[in-house]
Structure 1
């Protein structure tokens, strides 16, 4: 399993959690963004910079991931592509996207997009809470543990 990070909009606190987990579990973690992202020195953490453009980083992640890889993203259409390709998708708030929930989440996203396009002010997401940070760390730990156990 590799961990791919949609790093363009990934919160700093999430990246810090990922960096610690990568070193602790010795899991290759690759950040992909259209700008340089500072990463700590580690043989398990890499940065890939792609050109600017709509969905360029997303497309690169989908191109590189293999079944069983984990992608960290809040981008719901990207999560749907990851699941379709046999990967796992986890958002920075700790919600695991699955085959069972991705369609309804995608439908809600599209509905909210339509509302915004018609002029309704929907506001953005709330700031990440401590419980969401913890939920992310816990879910990441569960996924890594499961992977390590399957590897034995």
Structure 2
């Protein structure tokens, strides 16, 4: 598994969390962004700077990711595209996007965007804080631990993602 990080708009609070996980689990990682972003010193991290332009980083992540990879992004349309490819997506606040829940999140995002475009004033997301970083760290750890268990018990990851989506088998 490769970890891909959508570096554009990555909260600073997540950098040390990600770096610890990368180093501890020896995760090959690619940070894709429009400008140089660093997580910290690591031989496991490759930085890929793409040209500026709408969704250039997103397009590159979609091209690179493969089934089973994990993409860290707050961009729900990007999450939808990588989940459709069989990869996993985790947002900055700890939401794990799955085939079972991504369309609901995408529909809500599109609805809110439509309301904003119509001139209605809506609040944006609350500012990113320590609680969000903890939720992200917990979900990242749960996900990565589940990969280790998956090697021993192939039905575990499917059960985990189904439970996180609020579904029962």
TMscore range, shorter length? over 0.9
**Does 1:107 pair with 2:114?**
no
Superposed CA offset, 1:117-143 (max 9, x none): 111111221112322211110111111
Give the SS at the match of 2:127: coil
Contact persistence 2:71–2:89 (CA under 8 A):
yes
Superposed CA offset, 1:18-75 (max 9, x none): 1111001111121100101123221111211000011100000000001000000010
RMSD, aligned α-carbons: 1.2
1:151 shift after superposition: 4.3
Aligned length: 152
Q: 1:133 is matched with which residue?
A: 133
After TM superposition, the structure 1 = structure 2 runs for residues 69-148 of structure 1, keeping only pairs within 5 Å, are 69-148=69-148
Contact persistence 1:39–1:47 (CA under 8 A):
no
Contact persistence 1:39–1:46 (CA under 8 A):
no
Q: 1:10 is matched with which residue?
A: 10
Give the SS at the match of 1:71: strand
TM-score w.r.t. the length of structure 2 is: 0.86
After TM superposition, the structure 1 = structure 2 runs for residues 13-32 of structure 1, keeping only pairs within 5 Å, are 13-32=13-32
Give the SS at the match of 1:12: coil
Q: Any stretches of 5+ residues in structure 1 without a counterpart?
A: none
Q: Which moved more, 1:72-81 or 1:142-151?
A: 142-151
Rate the CA distance shift 1:88–1:46 in 2: closer, same or farther, 3 A: same
Supply the distance in 2 between the matched residues of 1:149 and 1:26 (Cα, whole angstroms).
Answer: 16
Q: 1:36 is matched with which residue?
A: 36
TM-score w.r.t. the length of structure 1 is: 0.95
Contact persistence 2:14–2:133 (CA under 8 A):
yes
